Structure 1
Amino acid sequence: MQGDVAYRDLNKNGKMDIYEDPKQPVEKRVQDLLKQMTLEEKAGMMFYSPIRVNADGTIEDKPASGLLASLSPVGVNEIDKHHITHFNLFVVPAPDTLAMWYNRIQQYQEKTRLGIPLTIASDPRNQGGAGIFAMSAKTFSMWPDPLGLAAAGDDKLTEKFANISRQEYLATGIRQGLHPQVDLATEPRWPRIAGTFGEDAALSSRMATAYIKGYQGEKLGPNSVAMMTKHFPGGGPQKDGLDPHFNFQKGEVYPGNNFKYHLIPFEAAFKTGTAAIMPYYGVPMGQKDIPEVGFSYNKAIITELLRKKYHYEGVVCTDWGLVTDSKIGPVNFPARAWGVENLNTEERVQRIIDAGVDQFGGENLPDVIVKLVKEGKVGEKRIDESIVRLLRLKFQLGLFDNPFVDEKKAAEIVGSADFMAAGQDAMRRSLTLLKNDAHTLPLAPNKLKIYVKNVDARLAAQYGTVVTDPKGADIAIIRLQTPNYPIPEAKGNFIAQMFHWGDLDFKGKQLQDILDLEKTVPTVVDIYIDRPAVIPEISANAKALFASFGSSDAALLEVVFGKYKPQGHLPIELPSSMEAVRNQKEDMPYDSKDPLYKFGAGLSY
């Protein structure tokens, strides 16, 4: 205490500095702390490093278990050696253990020279689907993918989702989300569509606004989770649907001259006050006055467009791994320095800073920044511009005044019964009925013999008699997933093989087996859409057809048997053929010729 003000003596000098005084304006606190920071401490703040969380909640250096854990450094080492104050989580233990770990790592950080609190971030942890960057965390409430929230199309539902996820994040110490992903899904083969709100700029803007409000509130504060909206200026128009995570695809193309369309959801995010922006890896191809180098290396994108045109003053953080090569298991993973591969490490870091970026995702190179400043290649005033933004966000989130969480409440909050029920309701509401031949649905419960495939037979048994031979069934209920096929470019790279590539149609025996079943017994087909499936034959032979976006078996069955009505509408069109897909322009929405199901399609009972 000093007078009537409770404060934390973070720099241990026995008095309340301006930056420690919760009654002082944020900008004064920022400037006071900035003056006290060394160049090395500033440099450490400019990196977002992965961090390992021990399964028992301890913070000491212990042997790692699993690939992701082994690739993540131990936080105390990064704090001691590199002054890192931003970390992102991959694999996490149970909520109460995670909360215990979080408090311990903050307590460790509190003992450093200035006691600058840590910011902990995460990719999405509440998605029920199989998105490539949806973190596995089954203790968190499960909801449909963002594409499913867009299918439900209800701003209030999306805000409710974000508000519930916010409470779960807060309970475990996660204060920044590396999302939402507001890229427009205009190229149907792109592997990251499940994490978007679809291909329509207006719908995506509505969803982005509700999403950011739900996490951040009307204003950033101690109960907010800061959003890092991505991937500016839009990652959707990938040539042939290949992704610039990998060196076999670096270009974003605009054959429809539609670059500006992809900016619209970001404009909504700016208006809503997103705390941070993440540019993508890709190279903008064929754009006047924009160099063909990756977005975070691109001054025309970051300074001229984002900073000057949009007057954006929040944090800009690169996507992960732009500067240094890495080795993940047996795979060499080159830095995503597309267009500047010839530059060395120092030159890449300088180029990114000169472009106007504040922070480096997934890198750990503070010594390089220190060297660049000492050699006069980067001015310390330029570094200070970024540090002001980074400190401002920490103060706005209330981390300097109380960064700790209540460990006892974490397990009560995360995945609570009410939160799980809300997620299940959203899963039902996102289910999109595309065909209902002769009013096949809803089915009458307890009167039918049911054959199921890729559906939990125990759940199905609650609605009828489950049989193992489709010939003896009255109805079949099957769940499918949009196909994906190996591509030659991904051979030998197990990371690339985790992405869903290539054609979107079922082929050969896989297709024939489905058609044979449909001809044997009336069939209800549900297909999980992480990319727009091409299913003309399957649709033609199905009695009923659903598109789903990360809904559980329980949610599907509740709708099929009429406990709830389907409410979803397609946030992306489903093409009628692969020829139509290949003829689409990567940057144009709903431009597939004669789509099987148009954007916005959706039936009910």
Structure 2
Amino acid sequence: MSVNLSAGVAEEFLRSPEGVVFRDLNGNGTMEPYEDPRLPVTERVEDLLGQLSLEEKAGLMFNTMVSVAESGRLGDEVPRAGRAGLREVVETKLVNHLNFHFVPEPRLAARWVNELQRLALASSPHGIPVTLSTDPRHSFVENWGASFTAEYFSAWPEPLGLAAVRDEQLVREFASIARAEYTAIGIRGAMHPTIDLATEPRWARQYSTFGQDADLVARLASAYLDGFEGDHVGPESVACMAKHFPGGGPQRDGEDPHFPYGREQVYPGGMFDYHLEPFRRIIARGVSAIMPYYGMPVGLVIDGEPIEEVGFGYNRQIVTGLLREKLGYDGVVCTDWSLVTESRLHGKQLPPRAWGVEHLSVEERVLKVIEAGCDQFGGEECPEVVVDLVRGGQVSEERIDASARRLLKVKFELGLFDNPYVDEEAAEVRAGRPEYVEAGHRAQARSVTVLKNEPVLKNEPVLKNEPVTARGHAPKASAGAGATNDGGAVAAVERSPLLPLRPGARVYSEELDPVAVAAAGLEPVAAVYDAEMAIVRVSAPFEFRDHYMLESAFHAGSLEFDATTVEKVRRLAESVPVILVPHLDRPAALTPLEPHCAAVAAVYGASDGAVLDALTGTIAPEGRLPFQLPRSEAAVVASRPDVPGDTEDALYECGFGLDLA
């Protein structure tokens, strides 16, 4: 084993009399079985488990949040409201699973990770390393409770965009690149993929799913695991946590169970098994961890047995009865975040997501989660409660051992006990490599979904010497053969689809960067009357809310566009053909906009450059809708949230998309 580490780190590595290089994790100068890299993981786990104190075992069962210090120096972290400091969490509480939020540039992040691993070694009697994990951070949606923009990593479309391409190899490529960038800075756990089904059009979390089709979701989820974990979890892997069991899509009224008003999960269409299918498939394939959702099932009956109406993380019938016993899953089960205690951030509060058990005390909630069959508490840091429950005779230590065994197994498989450190200098080079960035760009363009592409008059002129209207738009030229304006330009009668855009076309856009327009071989113009077409980028509508912590980041409520947006598109269309580019982080009711547009091309996270490469055909757009686009909000309200594609007279069906000629 070759180790190239700084002083103070290299001294951890010793050589046994047999010549085996190992980390002296307990500092006794000899190689214990759990320190021996030659032994099978199961043997190492059992050796270590037999030596751990109850406090160490309890520490394994918690996974809390942390933001890396901007300086990259341990101890410079911003204090968290109502939470223990990082040193207390690691040194005193012996918590060694941490979930990244803010991350600085790669070299500083890697330095912080190495300092953290040295702290964990010094703090733990047996040198248990930290497992660092993250929510998705390779796309465009910034939701500080669920996902992060790419920042220093390569930028890809949201999973919905990968689903639009419907290419398992593309998903493997993404996951392999994401794995390389994660491991460059020491991230070894992925709080994804999200394999919920997007069956309720209003639900805010759809952008991180693979859409509404259970078979497609299952196939892409397996490819995702191929890229992150490989055939089996090893020292080069990132361990994945699939979520949200048993399927988080069918939310009543499309509301999210992060919030008290969204706690109910319903199945009026009787489609519970349909939502379960992707989980069946990834369990058969193998996945390191699974996360139950916050949702509380209402009126659910499985095999004739009514299911307790409590959050899935509290639900023994779901976690032990269904997931463990019926589906045979024996990996880690980690709750969603903050089921037990409240959360506070940026002056906002969010109550514990203890749906159905709000009346229980903290101790009673912890006990119920353990009895349900979960191994780890997400977003919590109270291992002392577990210790007290065991010492009070309410939980057996053997039950704690079962969870500790599963959690240790993953740490050993990842190779963290043998070397948890990362190369600080190489981190900058390995994250955001040019070939990774280019691959992400191509995927963004490929995922663009052309929904409409009408023929328009080819090279149609604008009557520049006609009076400009009050809206700043000149009237369009006559379509008559041979019609001329005072400048003598001839209006062609030949019609052809607007897309792909021809080189040199004059484009008006208030949203696109003119530099990106020019780089795409088009001519950006500042006035509509100078343009041959207008490109309008819009986001799917939502109702802004900001009462609870995180609430402002969740796009929920009505899918219908406001009158201002509709009027803007209508007025533009009076002067030039309009290309509408809606960003679909969830379905949008495009009905009032679509008739005014000559072309519609949906995106799921794409830069201006990627959009323009697709519109010009430089990179062929291949996308097909990963979910149905409803015709109206009324149709959504009348639909059943657990049934895919259930809105009546949809504007576009799931799977629809046009190829460019």
TM-score by length of structure 2 reads: 0.88
Query: Take 2:112 and 2:355, find their aligned partners in 1: how far apart are those partners?
Result: 37
- How much does 1:492 deviate? 2.8
Query: Which residue of the other structure, out of 206, 211, 216, is the alignment partner of 1:203?
Result: 216
Q: Which amino acid in structure 2 is aligned with residue 93 of structure 1?
A: P
Are 2:418 and 1:418 aligned? no
Give per-residue Cα distances to partners, 1:545-603, cap 9 Å, x unaligned: 11100011101111212212211100101111111111110000011111111110011
Query: Which residue of the other structure, out of 107, 110, 115, is the alignment partner of 1:99?
Result: 110
Partner of 2:92: 81
Q: How does 1:293-372 map to 2 (within 5 A)?
A: 293-372=310-389
Are 2:117 and 1:141 aligned? no
Contact 2:81–2:344 under 8 Å retained in 1: no
Are 2:325 and 1:267 aligned? no
Partner of 2:120: 109
Which stretch shows the higher mean deviation, 370-379 or 537-546? Answer: 537-546
Are 2:219 and 1:164 aligned? no
Query: Which residue of the other structure, out of 135, 140, 161, is the alignment partner of 1:128?
Result: 140
- How much does 1:495 deviate? 2.3
- Which protein has the bigger helix share? 1
- How much does 1:70 deviate? 6.1
Work out the percentage of aligned pairs sharing the same amino acid.
45
Query: Take 2:41 and 2:549, find their aligned partners in 1: how far apart are those partners?
Result: 46
Query: Which residue of the other structure, out of 582, 602, 621, is the alignment partner of 1:527?
Result: 582
Query: Take 1:559 and 1:324, find their aligned partners in 2: how far apart are those partners?
Result: 47
Change (3 A) 1:435 1:73: farther
Give per-residue Cα distances to partners, 1:83-127, cap 9 Å, x unaligned: 011001000110011111111111121223100111000011101
Q: How does 1:163-312 map to 2 (within 5 A)?
A: 163-288=176-301, 289-312=306-329
- How much does 1:287 deviate? 1.1
SS of 1:237's equivalent? coil
Give per-residue Cα distances to partners, 1:361-409, cap 9 Å, x unaligned: 0001111001000000000000000000000010111111111111111
Give per-residue Cα distances to partners, 1:204-229, cap 9 Å, x unaligned: 01110000110000111000000000
- How much does 1:35 deviate? 0.9
SS of 1:7's equivalent? strand
Contact 1:125–1:136 under 8 Å retained in 2: yes
- How much does 1:179 deviate? 0.5
Partner of 2:165: 152
Partner of 2:73: 58
Partner of 1:396: 413
Contact 1:171–1:406 under 8 Å retained in 2: yes
Query: Which residue of the other structure, out of 443, 446, 454, is the alignment partner of 2:501?
Result: 443
Query: Take 2:177 and 2:637, find their aligned partners in 1: how far apart are those partners?
Result: 40
Contact 1:536–1:577 under 8 Å retained in 2: yes
Q: Which amino acid in structure 1 is aligned with residue 277 of structure 2?
A: I
Query: Take 2:568 and 2:111, find their aligned partners in 1: how far apart are those partners?
Result: 50
Query: Take 1:434 and 1:519, find their aligned partners in 2: how far apart are those partners?
Result: 21
- How much does 1:491 deviate? 5.2
Q: Which amino acid in structure 1 is aligned with residue 257 of structure 2?
A: P
Query: Take 1:493 and 1:109, find their aligned partners in 2: how far apart are those partners?
Result: 34
SS of 2:244's equivalent? strand
Query: Take 1:491 and 1:482, find their aligned partners in 2: how far apart are those partners?
Result: 18
Partner of 1:460: 517
Partner of 2:621: 566
Q: Which amino acid in structure 1 is aligned with residue 402 of structure 2?
A: E
Give per-residue Cα distances to partners, 1:283-335, cap 9 Å, x unaligned: 01101221000000000000000000111010000000000123323323110
Query: Take 1:56 and 1:175, find their aligned partners in 2: how far apart are those partners?
Result: 22
Q: Which amino acid in structure 2 is aligned with residue 376 of structure 1?
A: G
Query: Take 2:340 and 2:246, find their aligned partners in 1: how far apart are those partners?
Result: 20
Q: Which amino acid in structure 2 is aligned with residue 122 of structure 1?
A: T
Q: Which amino acid in structure 1 is aligned with residue 400 of structure 2?
A: I
Contact 1:131–1:194 under 8 Å retained in 2: no
Contact 2:68–2:77 under 8 Å retained in 1: no
Query: Take 2:350 and 2:81, find their aligned partners in 1: how far apart are those partners?
Result: 16
Are 2:572 and 1:517 aligned? yes
Query: Which residue of the other structure, out of 531, 537, 545, is the alignment partner of 1:479?
Result: 537
CA RMSD in angstroms, aligned pairs only: 1.4
Contact 1:233–1:266 under 8 Å retained in 2: yes
SS of 2:405's equivalent? helix
Change (3 A) 1:345 1:241: same
Runs of 5+ unmatched residues, structure 1: none
Change (3 A) 1:72 1:466: farther
Give per-residue Cα distances to partners, 1:471-500, cap 9 Å, x unaligned: 3311111111100123xxx45335212211
Are 2:22 and 1:7 aligned? yes
Contact 1:323–1:336 under 8 Å retained in 2: yes
Which stretch shows the higher mean deviation, 157-166 or 466-475? Answer: 466-475
Query: Take 2:425 and 2:83, find their aligned partners in 1: how far apart are those partners?
Result: 27
Partner of 1:46: 61
Which stretch shows the higher mean deviation, 325-334 or 14-23? Answer: 325-334
SS of 2:451's equivalent? strand
SS of 1:36's equivalent? coil
Contact 1:199–1:572 under 8 Å retained in 2: yes
TM-score by length of structure 1 reads: 0.97
Contact 2:507–2:532 under 8 Å retained in 1: yes
Query: Take 1:71 and 1:521, find their aligned partners in 2: how far apart are those partners?
Result: 56
Which aligned runs of 4 or more in structure 1 are off by greater than 3 angstroms?
Answer: 69-74, 129-132
Contact 2:140–2:149 under 8 Å retained in 1: no
- How much does 1:76 deviate? 2.4
**Structure with greater Cα Rg:** 2
Query: Take 1:85 and 1:179, find their aligned partners in 2: how far apart are those partners?
Result: 19
Q: Which amino acid in structure 2 is aligned with residue 542 of structure 1?
A: C
Give per-residue Cα distances to partners, 1:19-50, cap 9 Å, x unaligned: 01111111111111011100011111100011
SS of 1:545's equivalent? strand
